[in-house]
Amino acid sequence: MAVKRKKPGDDGRKVVAENPKARYDFHILETLEAGLVRTGTEVKSMRAGKAAIREAYVRVERGEAWVMGMNVATYEQGNVFNHEPDRTRKLLLHRREIEGLHVHVTRKGNTIIPLSLYFREGRAKLSIGVARGKDKGDKRQAMAERDMKRQLDRDMKQRD
């Protein structure tokens, strides 16, 4: 049996969907990796890259964490047992992690948002972050820093 060797810096992730606006609109205070409870044809649809987490958020209710607003398109070759695209999905976390998330969310201005959806070692995972919203000044500052970095990279490239 052949052993699959990892490349340096490769953590075995196959990214399905990312939330690019998350780091632009929010300060990420803490990140966690959570498993997902899936049904039926969701896995095949996710492997085909048919998932969106842009409008999704996480809610903690009665000691359980749920992701709301995550869209996983129905599987095209599915049958009558195809899944509902916008259903609420349960997150698999340890009790202490859920309690910690609940403490963060009860603070004013904090929310939990998905950052990326990916497969690791064949299992679907959702990277979630405890976030606090940025105001316009913070967003402008982030844009200015990004533009400065781009300009520096251009200048360095021209010197070479």
The mean pLDDT of the chain is: 86
Q: Is 118 exposed, middle or buried (0-12, 13-18, 19+ CB in 10 A)?
A: buried
pLDDT band at 7 (very low <50, low <70, confident <90, very high): low
Give me the pLDDT at residue 39, please.
82
Q: What pLDDT is attached to residue 112? A: 93
CA distances (Å), 84 to each of 15, 17, 34, 87, 133, in order? 22, 18, 21, 6, 30
pLDDT at 94 over 80: yes
In this structure, the number of other CB atoms found within 10 A of the CB of residue 39 comes to 12
Give me the percent of the chain exceeding a pLDDT of 90: 39
The reported pTM is 0.76
Closest CA to 88 of 59, 62, 119, 126: 59
- CA 23 to CA 27: how far, in whole Å? 6
Give me the domains of the chain, ranges plus CATH numbers: 13-134 (2.40.280.10)
Over residues 6-31, the mean pLDDT reads 81
Q: Which residues pair with 132 in a beta bridge?
A: 27, 110
pLDDT confidence of residue 82: 80
Residue 66 has pLDDT above 90, yes or no: yes
